[in-house]
Chains A and B, each alone.
Chain A
Amino acid sequence: MSISSLPAEGTAHASAPPVTVHEERQRQSRLSLAMVSPSVAVLLIWMAVPLAMTIYFSLIRYNLLYPGDNDFVGLENYYFFLTDEGFTAGMTNTLLLVCSVLLISVVVGVLIAVLVDTSFWGRGIVRVLLISPFFIMPTVSALVWKNLLLHPVSGVFAAVWRFFGAEPIDWFATYPMEAIILIVSWQWVPFAVLLLMTAMQSLDQEQKDAARLDGAGPVAIFWHITLPHLARPIAVVVMIETIFLLSIFAEIFTTTGGGPGYETTNLAYLIYSQALLQFDVGLASAGGLVAVLLANIAAFILIRMIGKNLTDKG
């Protein structure tokens, strides 16, 4: 702290013109506004312009295969999108994917963070290995899992199954959604581990020792001391992962292409397939707006649940 230079205060003030508290406060609020504005402005443009265009596209007929035929069609696109059989599937799959991966990454993340918090040989290397998947591109991890690990003939899983005398499973045909959840969890568990590991380091050891002296077992300590301590970081994990999981795309695109049928089509992929595979920009725009609306509902719920709690810091 630079307390040492405080005596200079008197001289600095004497030479400056007298400023009233009110003026000073106004100056500060103008300055702070000027500093936030660029970020707010670019994000506002980033949201508003494409959104306005999307709203416009969603109200007209706009198929790239039929150029020039851009009549106003009102809410027809919305009607087609919402009654499409892919829509219910997309909704269900999005929810299923987000919730399963969240559950897995929080539970497994907490267990691993607690496990790694004990001291043992090579802890540094173990940490590096554990968080590595987070650095891998989604496309790469999807390709590696699809071709090298889950492949029904020459994949590693197939070899393990055969080793135990079982018939290898064609994962993407039999359990497509489970396979996607596995891949996405593999990518996001390390993120939870990363955050929770940090949080474990600030856990009060004395409190644990005191509890142990009072005869508390490891389970009781975990339940009454460790878990409450991790509540905030878990909230952060849920918040950030939800943001990314809502728009999972590359993993589905590279592995199943949304199939078989609509079994692994989430909303993001559904809109993509309408816009770029069926060239129906109008329909895709309507879908995009529905997704934006749903994302905002999700955001609202999440922010209500944990967001306020996160910014309320004394």
Chain B
Amino acid sequence: MLTLKQGRQLQTVLLGTLAWLVALTIFFPIFWMILTSFKTEIDAFATPPQLFFTPTLENYLHIDARSDYFHFAWNSVVVSFGSTLLGMLLAVPAAYSMAFFETKRTKSTLLWMLSTKMLPPVGVLVPIYLIFKDFGLLDTKFGLVLIYTLINLPIMVWMVYTYFKEIPKDILEAARLDGATALQEIYRVLLPISKGGLASTVLLSLILSWNEAFWSLNLTASSAAPLTALVASYSSPEGLFWAKLSAVSTLACAPILIFGWLSQKQLVRGLSFGAVK
């Protein structure tokens, strides 16, 4: 017979094992992609798939020879950070005003903003393409920054709004009685308190911009093309070169994946959308 304590321990071990199994299963596709990127093309196509093989760097060398990885990576960085910065500059004041000076229209404005996200991008692709062409924004980083800011803005406003909502109004009133202006209120009082929430808003915006693959594929050609376009360029004409495809995919995902892992705690803590009381 097991004692109660032993039973608990056994339960912990079983649940832990189960959790590990689930996690490894979910992670497997990524693991397999990274593994394949170190195989030769022949090993990559082998039947049955091989877990053990002689690793090679030839795929990475090939990519380095064929395309300028850092050019694409730099575009991704600029576009993600640029749109996140611009988005925050717009979202923070809007959320501040909505959270602390609520009017009759605040809620409907917020919901309307969210509803703009439900537009299928493909429905407005042609007009946007034509507008971009007229304004010389096609294949520019600035054009992509604009688009990403606009598509992420509703979610950013909403997230920041929910964080601001959680701040007791007394704190702001105390600052206001001290003679603080609205800007001072935001910079000295609000931002320090809601640092965590703002950080996760920034993180989410970076992730979404980094991975966006509809506008970046349709509005860029070469000079502003981010990593999503680099991956796409390896997928269509060379669909059968899986090891190279895996290598380029690994390179495209690695920065944001590592970034996500490092900031995972922050993201988990902050990503509640006001759903947790």
Contact between A148 and B47 (Cβ–Cβ < 8 Å)?
no
Contact between B272 and A154 (Cβ–Cβ < 8 Å)?
no
Interface centre among A50, A119, A149, A249 (most CB of B within 10 A): A50
Contact between B115 and A296 (Cβ–Cβ < 8 Å)?
yes
Chain A residues within an 8 Å CB radius of B253: 135-137, 140
- Given the interface contacts A137-B213, A233-B272, does A154 sit within 8 Å of B45 by beta carbon? yes
Interface centre among B118, B157, B231 (most CB of A within 10 A): B118
**How many Å from the CB of B150 to the closest CB on chain A?**
5
Chain A residues within an 8 Å CB radius of B149: 42
Is A21 located at the chain interface by the 8 A CB criterion?
Answer: no
For the complex, count residues of B whose C-beta is within 8 A of A.
105
Interface residues of B in 1-16 (CB under 8 A from A): 12-13, 15-16
Which residue in A12, A121, A242, A307 is a CB contact (below 8 Å) of B111?
Answer: A307
Is A213 located at the chain interface by the 8 A CB criterion?
Answer: no
- CA distance in complex: A140, B226 (Å): 14
- Given the interface contacts A36-B94, A132-B27, does A288 sit within 8 Å of B123 by beta carbon? yes
Chain A residues within an 8 Å CB radius of B23: 125-127, 129-130
Contact between A12 and B179 (Cβ–Cβ < 8 Å)?
yes
Contact between A310 and B273 (Cβ–Cβ < 8 Å)?
yes
Output the nearest chain B residue to A154 by Cβ-Cβ distance.
Answer: B47
Which residue in A121, A129, A243 is a CB contact (below 8 Å) of B118?
Answer: A243
Contact between A39 and B246 (Cβ–Cβ < 8 Å)?
no
Interface residues of A in 57-112 (CB under 8 A from B): 57, 112
- CA distance in complex: A311, B275 (Å): 10
- CA distance in complex: A291, B125 (Å): 13
For the complex, count residues of A whose C-beta is within 8 A of B.
118
Is A247 located at the chain interface by the 8 A CB criterion?
Answer: yes
Contact between B178 and A12 (Cβ–Cβ < 8 Å)?
yes
Interface centre among A127, A195, A311 (most CB of B within 10 A): A311
**Interface secondary structure of B, over-half rule:** helix
Contact between B94 and A39 (Cβ–Cβ < 8 Å)?
yes
Interface residues of B in 21-45 (CB under 8 A from A): 22-24, 26-30, 32-33, 36, 45
- Given the interface contacts A189-B26, A198-B268, does A137 sit within 8 Å of B245 by beta carbon? no
Chain B residues within an 8 Å CB radius of A308: 107
Interface centre among B29, B47, B90, B123 (most CB of A within 10 A): B123
Interface residues of B in 83-135 (CB under 8 A from A): 90-91, 93-94, 96-98, 100-101, 103, 107, 109-111, 113-128, 130-131
- Given the interface contacts A33-B97, A36-B109, does A295 sit within 8 Å of B249 by beta carbon? no
1/0 contact string of A146-181 vs chain B (CB within 8 Å): 011100011110110011000000000000000000
Interface residues of B in 234-277 (CB under 8 A from A): 235, 239, 242, 245-246, 249, 252-253, 256-257, 259-261, 264, 267-269, 271-277
- CA distance in complex: A298, B249 (Å): 34
- CA distance in complex: A285, B170 (Å): 51
- CA distance in complex: A292, B18 (Å): 43
- CA distance in complex: A135, B16 (Å): 24
Contact between A250 and B174 (Cβ–Cβ < 8 Å)?
no
Contact between A149 and B98 (Cβ–Cβ < 8 Å)?
no
Residues on B lying within 8 angstroms of A by beta carbon are: 12-13, 15-16, 18-20, 22-24, 26-30, 32-33, 36, 45-49, 90-91, 93-94, 96-98, 100-101, 103, 107, 109-111, 113-128, 130-131, 149-150, 153-155, 157, 162, 165, 170-171, 174-175, 177-179, 182, 189, 207, 210-211, 213-214, 227-228, 231-232, 235, 239, 242, 245-246, 249, 252-253, 256-257, 259-261, 264, 267-269, 271-277
Task: Pull 27 A–B residue pairs with CB atoms less than 8 Å apart, ordered by A.
Answer: A2-B174, A2-B189, A8-B178, A8-B179, A32-B97, A39-B90, A49-B127, A49-B131, A53-B131, A129-B24, A130-B23, A132-B30, A132-B261, A133-B26, A133-B30, A135-B207, A135-B211, A137-B213, A155-B49, A195-B271, A198-B276, A236-B272, A254-B235, A299-B114, A303-B115, A310-B274, A311-B107
